[in-house]
Amino acid sequence: METQAIEQLIRTGLPGAEVQVTGDGSHFDAVVISEAFAGLTPIKKQRLVMETVKVQLASGELHALSIKTFTPAQWSATEV
């Protein structure tokens, strides 16, 4: 899979999210920033993102995805 395809899948599943994906073709890292994460536990945030790519994971098209999730406020606090 291409990074752009993964980004689009996540954006489609989480409208309004800011998504950055890097990777080498089989293992990818995603940073996802969304208001949808407000008040959720870390596992629920992960599940929201994984739900957007579940078909690709099940088919083996996407092998591994590491996810870091932030609300916009959390993301702003990490940028110095």
Domains along the sequence of the chain with CATH? 3-71 (3.30.300.90)
Output the pTM of the full model. 0.91
Residue ranges in 1-80 assigned as alpha helix (H): 3-13, 42-52, 54-59, 72-78
| CB neighbours of residue 7 within 10 Å | 18
Q: Does the CA dihedral 4-7-27-31 come out positive or negative?
A: positive
Number of other CB atoms surrounding residue 48 within 10 Å: 20
pLDDT tens, position by position, for the chain (80 residues)?
A: 899 999 999 999 999 999 999 998 778 999 999 999 999 999 999 999 999 999 999 998 898 999 999 999 999 998 65
**What pLDDT is stored for residue 24 in this prediction?**
84
